[in-house]
């Protein structure tokens, strides 16, 4: 099943990136096709302030650009927010929704995340819907239940491989240098795949499931080889071309 899904190597720049970082982005874009051997799609999600310039910087390359969040509405009195339509207007193709940092910093619930995913589709873009357990939930052996709940609440019924990607990011693995074992990743991703199929029928078979949380060139081969891992969502290591391309190389074969 996994073999037929084209992987996605995605970066999330979070609240990082100024004009001066566009040179790094250009280097990633120039090297991505060669690094991945053309065997994976590449994406960098930037802060809203950089999207339009990032789109211009990667023009004509295999790298796409996405946003990191959007409001559920198209327009209106929501000072400081941006809509999926605005992100689409900048030339982006994807938007991350429900990242654990949004769930924590902005008290986003599964219901809000599902509304945002639908907003992303309304804007004609692909939603990257993030799920993942906290350290306390993992210690309490609740990981699989939490993932099932998050899928039930955050993934809208009409999700499919064209409009959605699911990213599994254990909260305790984000930015910590810690990662689950390959066996734990396999268990979580198999569980996510089963829940997606239960929920979405055949569409659940082809939705990409990314792993995120301390992915770097030194662990990418092992993590990306796990069954039902269809790519990576990369934070820190997506800020440097050498690291991002080093991860993409895992697909060169
Ligand atoms: P790190 O790769 O820095 O752990 O971040 C992962 C992440 O949150 C990507 O969305």
Query: Using a 6 Å cutoff on CB, does residue 174 contact ligand 1?
Result: yes
**Are the C-beta atoms of residues 232 and 210 closer than 8 Å to each other?**
yes
> Among all residues, which ones are annotated catalytic?
99, 169
- Ligand 1: atom nearest CA of 130 is 10
Looking at residue 4, its pLDDT comes to 84
Query: Using a 6 Å cutoff on CB, does residue 214 contact ligand 1?
Result: yes
Looking at residue 55, its pLDDT comes to 98
Looking at residue 122, its pLDDT comes to 98
**Are the C-beta atoms of residues 43 and 64 closer than 8 Å to each other?**
yes
Q: Which two tokens stand for residue 187?
A: 């268990």
Looking at residue 1, its pLDDT comes to 41
Q: Which two tokens stand for residue 53?
A: 């310039």
CATH class, 8-251 region: alpha beta
In the block, tokens 């499919």 appear at 160
What whole-number distance in Å separates Cα of residue 237 and Cα of residue 252? Answer: 18
Low-confidence spans in the chain with pLDDT less than 50: 1-3
Bridge partners for 126 per DSSP = 94
Looking at residue 2, its pLDDT comes to 44
What whole-number distance in Å separates Cα of residue 116 and Cα of residue 97? Answer: 6
């Amino acid at each position: 099943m996994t073999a037929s899904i084209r992987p996605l190597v995605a970066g999330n720049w979070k609240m990082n990136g100024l004009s001066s970082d566009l040179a790094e982005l250009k280097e990633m874009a120039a090297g991505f096709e060669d690094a991945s051997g053309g065997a994976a799609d590449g994406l960098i999600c930037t802060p809203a302030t950089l999207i339009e310039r990032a789109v211009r910087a990667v023009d004509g390359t295999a790298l796409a650009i996405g946003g990191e969040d959007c409001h559920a509405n198209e327009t209106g009195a929501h000072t400081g927010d941006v809509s999926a339509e605005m992100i689409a207007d900048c030339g982006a193709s994807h938007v991350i929704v429900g990242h654990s940092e949004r769930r924590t910093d902005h008290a986003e619930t599964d219901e809000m995340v599902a509304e945002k995913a639908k907003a992303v589709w309304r804007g004609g873009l692909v939603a990257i819907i993030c799920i993942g357990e906290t350290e306390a939930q993992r210690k309490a052996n609740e990981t699989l239940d939490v993932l099932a709940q998050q899928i039930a609440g955050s993934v809208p019924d009409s999700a499919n491989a064209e409009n959605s990607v699911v990213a599994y990011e254990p909260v305790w693995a984000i930015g910590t240098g810690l990662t689950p074992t390959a066996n734990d990743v396999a268990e979580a991703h198999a569980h996510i795949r089963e829940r997606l199929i239960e929920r979405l029928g055949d569409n659940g078979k082809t939705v990409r499931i990314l792993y995120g949380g301390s992915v770097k060139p030194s662990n990418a081969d092992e993590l990306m080889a796990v069954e039902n891992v269809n790519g990576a969502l990369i934070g820190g290591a997506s800020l440097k071309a050498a690291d991002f391309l080093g991860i993409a190389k895992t697909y060169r074969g």
